[in-house]
Structure 1
Amino acid sequence: MFKKIIVFQAVLLLTLALVLAGCGANAQPGAGNTKKSIEGTVKVTTTTGMISDIVKNVGGEHVEVQGLMGPGVDPHLYKASQGDIAKLKKADIIFYNGLNLEGKMADIFVRMSREKPAIAVTEYIPESQLREPPDFAGHYDPHVWFDVKLWMKAVERVRDGLIEVAPDRKADFEKNTQQYLKQLEELDAYAKQQLAQIPKKQRVLVTAHDAFGYFGTAYDLEVTGLQGISTDSEYGLQDVQNLVDMLVQRKIKAVFIESSVPKRAIEAVVEGAKAKNHIVTVGGELFSDAMGDPGTQGGTYIGMVKHNVDTIVAALK
């Protein structure tokens, strides 16, 4: 009886070994961790309009995009609603700017990343190319979209994120990315060519808050904002007075309002200069932290940059 039990156990172990060997012969390395490609349209939720525009250009017909922040919305002050949380939960993948632009939503992205990819599109930008203004509490300036070359890195990050969740559509994502990057190369060249027409002494861009630092570095303009990097920071009477004094001393003729920032701050600067017998005009409205209405020139990233460039050149040239 004892011998029969031993023989039975030996046969059982041999059979089990053969089964495992057979499974191993057909298995691929890491196959157990392979993610299935999302079938059908990839549902994407984004924060800003600039990011939504990237996803639409890269994803094409394969994506359905829902942006949380529409035209004129300030992402620095934005607080997510229950409806926004629902959009984030329904998404297959989330793209946000990062670098503390959406400061009040940081915890939400951390929680969502446990369930699905939640990606900061600025991840691919080297730290050496990021601005670190002394008045921004040791953080990087998040307004990277104003340097078209840097924003091209964001396009590449979106491409790779979409490939991660829908690898079977990789070829389309890569083709769309190449086409869009070519358009951005042309946009960068356009900005440099147009802004170079402004005489050097007149290349001073004065706006409501310090959103155009990357723009100034990329296209050789001196940039001054009444408020700091974030509109969450407050400005005081002394800040207005300092800016007024600068405008008067340097004989600057135009300042600019922003579509996502109340214009009362810049209006105070204009009135302050007028009180000192220096006439300053509002050179126009620029898109800073948000794009324009859909269907308008400012309703796309390329259109908003061109609008800003043309408005600045017309006022300062």
Structure 2
Amino acid sequence: MNYKRLETFVWVASLGNFRKAAERLHTTQPAISARIAGLEQELGVKLFEREGGSSPIILTPKGKELLPYAEKILYQSAQLRKQADVSTTYSGVLRLGVSETIVNTWLPDFLAQLHKNMSKLNVELTVDNTSSLAEGIKERTLDLAFLMGPISEPYIVNRELCTFSLSWVASPTLELPDRLLYLEELAAWPIVTYARSTKPYIEIVQKFRELEGAPVNFFASTSLAACLSLAVNAVGISTMPNVMIKKELADGKLRRLRAMWTPSDLSFTASYSDTPYNPIAEVATSLAVASAKKYETEHLDKNN
């Protein structure tokens, strides 16, 4: 039985849409339609109800009955390849979403290991904030994401990657006192922080809203590089991952501040949908875990 037809059947059933299935399988809608028609002819049954327009594609009763068998065949095929240790035969495109903190730490090592283990695999890299990456995983426009997780959905696999601690930092030109600082003292300047939809932003805003006095100004950005630049140029006070500010601290462009409260550590996960079964994301995740642990062993203790 034709593997591509079974794979197409599973993806159309999961996404409920021929166009989305075509994008996921890197082909055209006519090719998807032809594969489904060929499978229906081969099996002698109708698998989908096609209502047309923007209506989702719906499985027929027989399609619902046969879907678990197709999923099992794809899963066992992937397991056979894994047991045969032929990971280099993995090909196609991995749509990878990454938080900027990971880009600036262990991502290069991961991509090198990925190419070494799956040399026929192409990578489409998206760097974005966690909320956008999580949405991409849920909508299956991304195959795998390294983000501030986990994603709480029953069909999403989350594996722990790494944890980065944060520090308050400011330009020495702001001349803040060299002692333990109250948040009210920090609030005299704009607070430069993560994008609005992120966990650090929400945590910081809630904490500063508890303070008495005038409202605090927040400069939120989706770019950590922009946050770093604003802090270095004395625009405001920022919280930054310790792993990203080594050079600026050593060069005297920033100084670490001691404050009464510091936001929680950033915990990252590798997250992907396992419905349908996603062998490339599974293998890539294992490589990511190894790269993250290697980085933590080699660098993290030096950054704190």
Tell me the TM-score normalised to structure 2 length: 0.31
Higher relative contact order, structure no. (Cα contacts within 8 Å, ≥ 6 residues apart): 2
Q: Which has the higher strand share?
A: 2
Q: Which has the higher helix share?
A: 1
Pair member with larger Rg: 1
Tell me the TM-score normalised to structure 1 length: 0.30
